[in-house]
Amino acid sequence: MGKADDSSRSPAHTKGVSPRYPIVLTSVVSLTLGVALASFSLLHGGKHHAEVHRVGRLPVMGYNTWNAYHCNINETLILETAQLVKSLGLADVGYNYVNVDDCYSEKKRSEDGDIIADKKRFPSGMKWLTDQIHGLGLKAGIYSDAGWFTCALYPGSFQNEARDAKLFREEWGFDLLKYDNCAVPFDKITRENIIGRYTRMADAIAAQAKVSGKPPLLLSLCEWGREQPWLWARRLGQSWRTTNDITPDWPSIASIIDQNSFYSWASDFYGHGDLDMLEVGNGDLTFEEAKAHFTVWSFLKSPLLIGTHLADATPETLEILKNTEVIAINQDPVVGTAVTPFRWGINPDWTANASFPAQYWSGESQNGTVFMLLNTLDEPADMFFNLTESPWIRAGRQYSVRDLWTHSDNGTAVRNLTVANVPPHGVVALLLRDAGDEPAGIEPQCAVREWCMDKNGTFV
């Protein structure tokens, strides 16, 4: 699939066959590694809280309780989960947040107006819990809502923003706030839309941090992609949800990928599109689907929040979650931008299709050009592209090929690359490093043949 009639798109030789998908390279020479450091630029859209306080430079990594437990949480479960994050080696590869989602509180505030932790499920109190989490060398996150109530109908923070920001940060000791979008007050009360309601909490967090002199809460906006948050949310917080809630099945994963193909460009340092919490280890996702899910979330610079029951996590689940070569792209300290599609593949470019999203993606990293290939079909497929279809590849150069899932070096690519037999709903994650000038005698003279011309004025 994806092959053109142009002879410059035809592969020539094969080398470096991986255990799962053979990679076919047009020209093969001895592997030479060359690191091309990529530059980056921050998005600027006016003065906003994330820039002022400089928190949340990289996407958050950690654990969130919702996907695995919903409302069935208590302090024992959360502390055991935090201990598993440590003992399973997840903290060692970057997962350092343990976030408490909805349903942790009493149904009503105290007489003084404060949110109260559920006395039965959190008898030791939230400060005790965050002290235990911090004692493990981890950070802690909490949850609230920009409306009257949370989505499970516990107290929200509308008209209590300053009180709650102080409670969460100063009194309870949390480091992150996930802020939902349920129980919206009537317009005649707010005279505001989503931006206005989220600005109230962003301002409260900024004011609280100024008074305390401590770093502010990281603010994770959970408004499901309403009102195009990729255009404005980075002014208020460090991440913004881009779609409706995820479920642990391929149609949900594919739909989220499809929607994000049109605005993954908006992610950069201090502002990250949030594709929702990970479902790796949940539902009926196959191993290949879970790998694809994790790769997309990592390469699009989404927060990586585990949401499975860690005590029963399989070796395959941990293998995916602990792939340090994939995580390194998500946590790149030099390049903050996400990968974007350069060809949709099955569908015409820039065409939305919830079942068959864009297949060919690329982006920059500190160590080379990242490529992500998605087989969205229900059967194995060969996937082919010209290197210069990516804007981050230089013409006239050859590139060493590193497979980030097989952890293998696969020779050197010149102009074209084919990956054979990609599994259904599978992914290929490649890092291409500049390896010098391409060999002499490669025809045609230009990898991109449009207006390719000799200095004497003749077309090649």
180 is catalytic: yes
pLDDT digits 0-9 by tens, 149-208: 999 999 999 999 999 999 999 999 999 999 999 999 999 999 999 999 999 999 999 999
> Largest Cα–Cα distance of the chain, in whole Å?
86
> Quick one: tokens of 193?
């839309």
User: Which residues make beta-bridge pairs with 64?
Assistant: 99
Q: Of 101, 145, 180, 332, which residue is the catalytic one?
A: 180
Do the first three CATH levels of 7-36+367-437 and 49-330 match, i.e. the same topology?
Answer: no
Do the strands 304-306 and 61-64 form a parallel or antiparallel pair, or are they unpaired? Answer: parallel
User: Given this model, what pLDDT does residue 52 score?
Assistant: 44
Candidates 340, 241, 370, 303; CA nearest to 58 is 303
The dihedral sign for the CA sequence 453, 454, 456, 458 = negative
Q: What is the CATH number of domain 7-36+367-437?
A: 2.60.40.1180
Q: How confident is the model at residue 8 (pLDDT cuts 50, 70, 90)?
A: very low
What is the domain partition of the chain in residue ranges?
7-36+367-437, 49-330
114 by DSSP, 3-state: which? coil
Candidates 307, 260, 251; CA nearest to 284 is 251
| pLDDT exceeds 90 at position 418 | yes
pLDDT digits 0-9 by tens, 91-107: 999 999 999 999 999 99
Phi and psi at 439, nearest 5°, equal -60, 150
Q: How confident is the model at residue 24 (pLDDT cuts 50, 70, 90)?
A: low
Q: How confident is the model at residue 23 (pLDDT cuts 50, 70, 90)?
A: low
User: Given this model, what pLDDT does residue 297 score?
Assistant: 99
Q: How confident is the model at residue 54 (pLDDT cuts 50, 70, 90)?
A: confident
| pLDDT exceeds 80 at position 21 | no
Q: Mean per-residue pLDDT for 108-123?
A: 98
Q: How confident is the model at residue 17 (pLDDT cuts 50, 70, 90)?
A: very low
Q: Mean per-residue pLDDT for 341-349?
A: 97
164 is catalytic: no
pLDDT digits 0-9 by tens, 286-304: 999 999 999 999 999 999 9
Inter-CA distances, 308 with 28, 85, 141, 311, Å: 42, 11, 17, 9
Q: Mean per-residue pLDDT for 390-414?
A: 97
| pLDDT exceeds 50 at position 238 | yes
Q: Mean per-residue pLDDT for 406-418?
A: 97
User: Given this model, what pLDDT does residue 252 score?
Assistant: 98
User: Given this model, what pLDDT does residue 262 score?
Assistant: 98
Q: How does DSSP classify residue 387?
A: G
Q: Of 114, 118, 131, 245, which residue is the catalytic one?
A: 245
User: 387 burial class (0-12, 13-18, 19+ CB within 10 angstroms)?
Assistant: buried
User: Given this model, what pLDDT does residue 460 score?
Assistant: 76
User: Given this model, what pLDDT does residue 30 score?
Assistant: 29
Name the helix (H) or strand (E) containing 416: strand 416-422
User: Given this model, what pLDDT does residue 459 score?
Assistant: 87
Q: How confident is the model at residue 22 (pLDDT cuts 50, 70, 90)?
A: low
Asked if residue 325 lies in contact with residue 404, where contact means CB atoms within 8 angstroms, the answer is yes
Any idea what the Cα angle at residue 407 is, between residues 358 and 276, rounded to 5°?
45
The identity of residue 134, as a single letter, is H
pLDDT digits 0-9 by tens, 376-395: 999 999 999 999 999 999 99
Burial 394-408 (b: 16+ CB within 10 A, else e): eeebbbbbbbbbbee
User: 300 burial class (0-12, 13-18, 19+ CB within 10 angstroms)?
Assistant: buried
Average pLDDT of the chain is 91
Q: Mean per-residue pLDDT for 328-351?
A: 98
Burial 235-252 (b: 16+ CB within 10 A, else e): bbbbbbbbbeebbbebeb
Q: How confident is the model at residue 36 (pLDDT cuts 50, 70, 90)?
A: very low
Q: Mean per-residue pLDDT for 227-243?
A: 98
| pLDDT exceeds 50 at position 215 | yes
Candidates 265, 209, 270; CA nearest to 238 is 270
Pick the CATH number of 49-330 from 3.40.50.720, 3.20.20.70, 1.10.287.110, 3.40.50.150: 3.20.20.70
CA 194/CA 180 separation, integer angstroms: 11
